[in-house]
Structure 1
Amino acid sequence: MVAGRLQSVRREMSNPLYRNAYALMLNTIVNSGFGLLYWIFAARTYSPEDVGRGSALVNLMMLISVLTTLNFGQALVRFLPTAGNDSARLVRLAYAISTGLGALVAAVVMTYLHLARSPGDPLWVSPGFAAWFVVSTAAWSIFNLQDQIYTGLRSAMWVALKNGVYGVVKLVLLVIVALTSVEDGVFTSWSAPVLALLVPFSLLITRRLLPRHIAESAAEPGSGAPEKNTLRRYMAGDYAGQVFNQATSSFLPVLVIGLLGPQQSAYLLPAQTVFIAMNMLSIAITSSLVVEGSRDPARAHLLARSIARRIAVIVLPAALVIGLAAPLLLLLYGRDYAENASLLLQLLMVSMLPRVVVTLWMTRSRLANRTAPLAVQQLVHAIVVLTGTTLLSPIVGLDAVGWSWLAAELLLAVVLAPVVVRWLRGTHPVQPRTQPVDPDATEVIGRVPDQSTDRIPRVRD
């Protein structure tokens, strides 16, 4: 029986769809675990003032990075699997745009904090720290893009390994810096390992994984980077959707403070954190589906069925267990958290069921290169959640967030379910939307035909 189980596991892991999905799920668990440990260690080794300043600066760096990468990571997951000989150019373009914009915006923000704040202000920065922040933001953008590059190259296990090593080094450096006189130890311990790990993991991509991927995919029919207009439309819609999603998650605690006070906002934090981690598990699984579906659009619906089954046996049971154990889990934070946020966490876990339909629809939209509807979907979700929370909070208090989130997911699932069902049945296959192209003037990244000069510029080594 054991031998049969091992053979079944080997067969499962030999399939790139499942292997990468499990690797990305493992990465989500690793990131969540090390993130929790990091802030526990920080709270025990630094003063509350240092932790508060460090947390603010870390989150500021990540926010700038998220907004300035223009969601290029999702574009890499979608197009890198079939980029062929243009794969390296697509990666370099992502690096150039993300780091350039990230460094520029970080420099503007640091200049403002240095000039507009007084030296005694918690957010005032010295010129030396400002320069370090700019470099760290550019490095963080590349570090995060590498996760999507590994995913697009069907080597997602490196994502979990990279972030696992980063988590360990970050924890060790946090303790070491605490024993020294280094200022801004929290931010330093968070950002310095990124710069140290960037070189070996970048070399892994450029020297090993990219050449192997190019050799394997260059000869496949239709391989090559996307057309300029296709890439622009894809990134524009996906980026708008990401902004709406980021606005919802970031603004929700602020809204709760305004409606119910800071104490209720504190009770929201653990429930929201657990829900985000669970949602990331579903996103991790469907990211693998985007990669494999891009390589074989005709079988995308069959791959989607397999992924849906694995969500049903992994993510949904986990959500059920967390929902049932919510009062016990929240006791780890204190009795007040358990009394005030248990129903909220349970409602968020129930919303994971309709969320499966929404996630599959989002995956199909990405495979079809139709990201404008993604922006509309995220906007509707944000409106329902924020409006519902505002209207229901005087009646049910903090649980208004849970009821509003569940209502938003149910509404979207009902509207989108027919498309998802037809796709899974194979009656509504994915048809990637592309710009009509003159065969004598093919327009892709890095290629410059003689007949046209309107191209995305080549990014050289």
Structure 2
Amino acid sequence: MFRNAYALMLSTAVSAALGLGFWLVAARYYTEEAVGQGSAAIAAMRLLASITATTMIGAVVRYVPRAGRATGPLVVRAYVASTVVVAVASTGFLFTLPLWGASYEPLGGPAAGAVFVLASVAWAVLTLQDGVLTGLRKAIWVPVGNAVFSLGKLLLLAGFAAFTLGVFLSWAAAMVLSILPLGWLIFRRLIPAQAAADRDRPVPRMREIGRFLAGDSVGALFSLAMINLLPVMVAVRFDAAQNGFFYIAYTVGGTMEFMAINMASSLTAHASHSPDRLADGVRGALRRMALLLVPVVVLLIVFARQILAPFGADYAEHGTLVLRLLAAAALPRVAVELYIGVLRVQGRTGVLALLQGAMCTLVLGSAAVLLGTTGIEGAGWAVLVSMCGMALVSAPGLRAALAGRATVRTPRGPRRGPEEYGTSWARDAALARAEEAKGYGTRWTTQTAYLSGGLETGTPALGIPVYVPAGASGSGPGGATATTLYLRAVRPGEPEPDDEPLLTAVLWLLLGLAAGLFWVPLSRAEDARNAVTDHVDGTGLISALPPVSLTAGVLLIVVCSAAVSLYRARPALLSAGLGVTVAALHTAPLILGVQPDRLAGPWHAALTRLLTSVAGLSSPTGVERVLPTALQVLCLALAAVTLIALGAHWRVTAVVVWVLAVAGWAGQAAFAGVAVPVFVGLCLAAGGALLRRVWA
């Protein structure tokens, strides 16, 4: 569904941005040993919590929409079962703590152990809570809750700086900020509303839920082990400082893994509804890989050292190769994940579990060998080599799908009940049509596309299903157009999604949050002012910005990107996002004590004299300092007018103007020498475009 998919993508992007800021602050203000110990505890907590979250969240999202009057009891059972299992597993981990290495020694005390168990339980509940909101079709609250959690842990870092496990404690305490208010919303408002609306709907049987869990959890467990156990292995083998170096690089590189997995998700969502178009879906996913993933991977490989530099010199020195290896591994990972998507569409769950099991075994097994010979880089080499090997194994299946030879299993024999369809995607689709005819719901409740959480997403578990809507325009009556990550499920002329105004309000709040986080810490950054020189370029500004301000910059990019992705244009939001971006870029050097470049080049002298005379100033210096920035802003407005007059789509206009704003700031020294001619040229271009539109 468009709204849920968009909300979850927004949630992931916001959480990733704030998560990056969390580790920037931790790396800047905590010792390397403290970062390593905190990240080790977090990795263990995520691993233990995901034992239940990963295996149960698929069932939660699948059956909550169909539970009717039993929605409340179903959610409570999931919470209780998860709490018991995670608490037992966490306690067992603490009893075997000496076996896990020196990085886990701070968890040995009674108080630290109790906090660890509670945090593991809370992380599992937080994961299931996001799944419940998705199942209730209120995923719009997921980015809100995750933003609160991510911001809370960022701000709590300073408060827990005096504790050995301050990094971990800030993470654990922030979960309460999200769990409690959203828990109240779920149990007091959303569940009663759904139970009342669907009180006559048949309640899913526990046998049906159990069969789904049995088939759905195997592959999820393998994915869980591969992603969450690898940093634990590093923490066991190396000291806390080395573990911190690895975890930061692993966190940044994990964004590529997230992109690869979600390309497979879009394929699954699209082809689950139209299996006969599986080849088109695979080709489309490969095109998106070339357009989206390859440039980002190249950027990470080339500028890995510069990307890690804000964390500190030691992180850049020891983590650069790890980040490059993990980024390079994302390309073969795409082939593997696309084949996984093909297997899901085909309903071949056995082969799917076998493939994921082999991938998990290969990654962890090779890491166990290479970590002892090459250090923390061994984990990166293990992922790269394993993904290349698995890509070769997946290539024949992908080739068959591209050639149109792949088939989708269909149910055989008489249909007596839902349980006879198992967990096959094709069978679910067939059953959905029968349920829809009976009034039991829509295909939204039975077709799934897995959106896997990144390493730093607020939605902690793998495999959060996002369902495909019924009733959208598609082929034939009642057809559905699948929601994907890069293709909208709605078409021009259709009504605006119901939750879009709420999404817009969330983006306004995030924009205000980004502005506050950028300027407030920057205005108090005395150390940064003392560290800058008389000129600040792009890299220099990144190094000089306080970590929280840098985090706000990343969040600002997320908000602007999300605004461009909305169904309808929001001129006020787009303009405000661009305005905050321009203001942030140009005021940051001023706050740090760096003056802008003076206006120069052709025709500047006459303009400077005129404005100096009009303003009644004795010296043109101030005018020469202000004019380059003012002319840049005017040029951006002229570029927007030109594009609109030429009939460019509003998304194209917004993206082009935003890119010009960033590029103009990056090249402000060169622009100051040609500002007046460029401004005059854009005036002529805008005038010509307007005349062309009037005459047309």
TM over 0.5: yes
Q: 1:363 to 1:144 in 2, by over 3 A?
A: same
Q: 1:120 to 1:68 in 2, by over 3 A?
A: closer
State whether residues 81 and 153 of structure 1, in contact with CA within 8 Å, keep that contact through their aligned partners in structure 2. yes
User: Could you tell me how far 1:61 is from its partner in structure 2?
Assistant: 1.8
User: Could you tell me how far 1:51 is from its partner in structure 2?
Assistant: 2.7
In structure 1, distance between residues paired with 2:120 and 2:24: 24
Identity %: 27
Q: 1:270 to 1:380 in 2, by over 3 A?
A: same
Q: 1:185 to 1:157 in 2, by over 3 A?
A: same
Q: 1:359-412 CA deviation, whole Å, 9 max, x = no partner?
A: 4235437xx5x6444321112223444667769x99x98656424312312412
Q: 1:306 to 1:45 in 2, by over 3 A?
A: farther
Q: 1:342 to 1:187 in 2, by over 3 A?
A: closer
Amino acid at match of 1:402: L
SS at match of 2:137: coil
What is the aligned residue count? Answer: 403
User: Could you tell me how far 1:38 is from its partner in structure 2?
Assistant: 1.0
Q: 1:200 to 1:336 in 2, by over 3 A?
A: closer
State whether residues 80 and 153 of structure 1, in contact with CA within 8 Å, keep that contact through their aligned partners in structure 2. yes
- Please tell me the root mean square deviation across aligned C-alpha atoms, in Å: 4.6
SS at match of 1:86: helix
In structure 2, distance between residues paired with 1:383 and 1:150: 33
* Number of the residue aligned with 2:355: 377
In structure 1, distance between residues paired with 2:123 and 2:400: 40
Amino acid at match of 2:360: A
Alignment partner of 1:276 out of 245, 254, 257:
254
In structure 1, distance between residues paired with 2:263 and 2:130: 14
State whether residues 280 and 402 of structure 2, in contact with CA within 8 Å, keep that contact through their aligned partners in structure 1. no
Amino acid at match of 1:319: L
User: Could you tell me how far 1:163 is from its partner in structure 2?
Assistant: 0.9
* Number of the residue aligned with 1:206: 187
In structure 2, distance between residues paired with 1:123 and 1:71: 29
State whether residues 260 and 333 of structure 2, in contact with CA within 8 Å, keep that contact through their aligned partners in structure 1. no
State whether residues 260 and 330 of structure 2, in contact with CA within 8 Å, keep that contact through their aligned partners in structure 1. no
In structure 2, distance between residues paired with 1:380 and 1:216: 45
State whether residues 7 and 139 of structure 2, in contact with CA within 8 Å, keep that contact through their aligned partners in structure 1. yes
Alignment partner of 1:332 out of 307, 314, 328:
307
1:37-186 correspondence runs (5 A): 37-69=21-53, 71-111=55-95, 113=97, 122-178=105-161, 181=162, 184-186=165-167
Higher RCO (CA < 8 A, seq sep 6+)? 1
State whether residues 43 and 232 of structure 2, in contact with CA within 8 Å, keep that contact through their aligned partners in structure 1. no
In structure 1, distance between residues paired with 2:103 and 2:225: 35
Q: 1:282 to 1:306 in 2, by over 3 A?
A: farther
Q: 1:271 to 1:190 in 2, by over 3 A?
A: closer
State whether residues 282 and 311 of structure 1, in contact with CA within 8 Å, keep that contact through their aligned partners in structure 2. no
Matching of residue 319 in structure 1 with residue 273 in structure 2: no
State whether residues 237 and 374 of structure 1, in contact with CA within 8 Å, keep that contact through their aligned partners in structure 2. no
SS at match of 1:332: helix
User: Could you tell me how far 1:97 is from its partner in structure 2?
Assistant: 0.9
* Number of the residue aligned with 1:406: 388
Deviates more, 1:142-151 or 1:73-82: 73-82
* Number of the residue aligned with 1:428: 408
Amino acid at match of 2:14: V
SS at match of 1:428: coil
Deviates more, 1:32-41 or 1:96-105: 32-41
In structure 2, distance between residues paired with 1:344 and 1:418: 29
Q: 1:315 to 1:92 in 2, by over 3 A?
A: farther
State whether residues 257 and 333 of structure 2, in contact with CA within 8 Å, keep that contact through their aligned partners in structure 1. yes
* Number of the residue aligned with 1:227: 208
* Number of the residue aligned with 1:349: 330
Q: 1:168-197 CA deviation, whole Å, 9 max, x = no partner?
A: 11111112333xx55632222111121232
Q: 1:340 to 1:64 in 2, by over 3 A?
A: closer
In structure 1, distance between residues paired with 2:244 and 2:116: 28
Q: Which runs of 5+ in 2 are unaligned?
A: 310-315, 422-696
Alignment partner of 1:191 out of 152, 165, 172:
172
In structure 1, distance between residues paired with 2:262 and 2:86: 25
In structure 2, distance between residues paired with 1:266 and 1:402: 21
* Number of the residue aligned with 1:364: 345
SS at match of 2:187: helix
In structure 1, distance between residues paired with 2:186 and 2:105: 39
Larger CA Rg, structure 1 vs 2: 2
Amino acid at match of 1:204: L
In structure 1, distance between residues paired with 2:199 and 2:183: 22
Q: Which runs of 5+ in 1 are unaligned?
A: 1-15, 438-461
User: Could you tell me how far 1:202 is from its partner in structure 2?
Assistant: 0.9
Amino acid at match of 2:13: I
* Number of the residue aligned with 1:24: 8
Q: 1:404-444 CA deviation, whole Å, 9 max, x = no partner?
A: 31231241242366469769x9x62665996459xxxxxxx
State whether residues 151 and 288 of structure 1, in contact with CA within 8 Å, keep that contact through their aligned partners in structure 2. no
Alignment partner of 1:36 out of 17, 20, 39:
20
SS at match of 1:164: helix
SS at match of 1:154: coil
Q: 1:105-131 CA deviation, whole Å, 9 max, x = no partner?
A: 223333555x999x9993353323322
SS at match of 2:108: coil
* Number of the residue aligned with 2:532: none
State the TM-score, normalizing by the size of structure 2: 0.48
User: Could you tell me how far 1:210 is from its partner in structure 2?
Assistant: 2.8
In structure 1, distance between residues paired with 2:42 and 2:77: 26
State whether residues 83 and 225 of structure 1, in contact with CA within 8 Å, keep that contact through their aligned partners in structure 2. no
SS at match of 1:96: helix
Deviates more, 1:299-308 or 1:25-34: 299-308
State whether residues 362 and 374 of structure 1, in contact with CA within 8 Å, keep that contact through their aligned partners in structure 2. yes
State whether residues 149 and 174 of structure 2, in contact with CA within 8 Å, keep that contact through their aligned partners in structure 1. yes
Amino acid at match of 2:306: L
Amino acid at match of 1:152: G
